[in-house]
Amino acid sequence: MAFAVTGADRRFLRLASIPMGLLALSTIYPIVFTFSNALKSSREFIRQGYGLPQSPTLEKFAAAWSTTQLGSYFINSIVVTVIGVALVLFVASLAGYAFGQLQFPFRRPLFILLLTGLMIPVQVIMVPLFRTVLDLGMLNSRIGLGIVYGAFFSPFGVYLMASYYRSIPKELSEAARVDGASPWQIYLRLMLPLGRPALVTLGIIATLNCWNDVLISLLVLQENRTLMVGIAALRGEYGADIPLIAASVVIGAAPVIAIFLVFQRKILGGILIGSVKG
C-alpha cells in the first residue's frame, strides 16, 4: 500500500532534519577533534588546539604504542574479550535452546530469575563481586576477568538466544525427535546451525561490551590493565600531552568503530531478535 507525501509532510521533514543534523554534528565533532589532535605534535597543539593539523604526523601514535605500554594493554584486552565472548556464546546457545525449545519443570520461573541479571547494575554488587574474585584466586588474572565478563553478559545472551529459538517452529525439532534424534543431537545438528545469525549478532555485541568495559576490568585486573583502563589512566600520567592521549583514544576506539561499521546491520538485527515474543 502506497502513501502519498504532501507538501506539508515535506516541510515537516525539512524542519525535522535541522535538529537531527545538529545532533549528528554534535556526535561527529568529538571524533574529528580527537583524530585531528592525534595527528599534531605537542608544539602545534599548543599553538592551534582546535584547528586542523597543518603538518600531520604519526609520532604520537608511535609514542602511545611504545612509551605508555599500550601494546601490552591491547593484548590484555584481546585475551579477556576472546575468553568472555566465548563463554557468553557457549552458555547463551545452550541455555537459549533449552528455554526456547525444551519443556522442563520451573522453566518460566528460572528464565525470569536469570533475567534479573539484566536489572542489577554492577555498582550494586561490586563488593561481593570483589570478594568472590578474591576467594576464587582470580584477582589480577586475565582468565578470571574473562570469566567475570562471561558471567555478566550471559543473561542478555540467554535472553537473545531464547527469543530467537522461540521463533523457530517446534515442528522441526519434533520431526527430528520422531526420527530418533536426542536433544543433544537436535541442538548440534539442527538448532546450532539455525541459530548462527543470532550467535553472530550476540558475539558482536558481547565483543563491544567486553572491549569497552572499564569498571569491571579495574576491579579485577589491579596490577595489569586492559586497553580502556590504560587509556583512562593516561590522563593522570600524561595530562599535559593531549595529542598523546588523543592518539591512544583513537587506537582504542579503532577496533570498536571498525566492528560496528562492518556489522552494524547485524547489530540492529540483534535488537529486533530480542524483541521477538514466544
Tell me: the pLDDT tens digits for 207-230? Answer: 999 999 999 999 999 888 899 998
Query: Is 2 within a domain?
Result: no
Confidence at residue 19, expressed as pLDDT on a 0 to 100 scale: 86
Same-domain status, 158 and 92: yes
Give the residue-averaged pLDDT of 174-182.
88
Number of domains forming the structure of the chain: 2
Give the residue-averaged pLDDT of 9-32.
82
Query: Is 230 within a domain?
Result: yes
Same-domain status, 28 and 85: no
pLDDT band at 278 (very low <50, low <70, confident <90, very high): very low
Same-domain status, 48 and 77: no
Say whether pLDDT at 269 is over 70: no
Same-domain status, 135 and 242: yes
Confidence at residue 1, expressed as pLDDT on a 0 to 100 scale: 45
pLDDT greater at residue 275 or residue 24: 24
Q: Are 238 and 244 in contact (CB under 8 A)?
A: yes
Confidence at residue 271, expressed as pLDDT on a 0 to 100 scale: 58
- How many angstroms separate the CA atoms of 36 and 194, rounded? 45
How much is the pTM?
0.84
- How many angstroms separate the CA atoms of 253 and 76, rounded? 15
Confidence at residue 267, expressed as pLDDT on a 0 to 100 scale: 66
pLDDT band at 6 (very low <50, low <70, confident <90, very high): low
- How many angstroms separate the CA atoms of 252 and 231, rounded? 8
Where in the sequence is the domain holding 121, given as residue range(s)?
61-274
Same-domain status, 43 and 30: yes
Say whether pLDDT at 90 is over 50: yes
pLDDT greater at residue 118 or residue 153: 153
Query: Is 42 within a domain?
Result: yes
pLDDT band at 40 (very low <50, low <70, confident <90, very high): very high
Same-domain status, 41 and 115: no
Same-domain status, 168 and 240: yes
Distances in Å between the Cα of 193 and the Cα atoms of 90, 158, 186, 216 are: 14, 17, 10, 33
Query: Is 45 within a domain?
Result: yes
Q: What is the mean pLDDT of the chain?
A: 86
Say whether pLDDT at 124 is over 60: yes
Same-domain status, 124 and 261: yes
Lowest-confidence region among 9-23, 57-71, 119-133: 9-23
Give the residue-averaged pLDDT of 176-205.
89
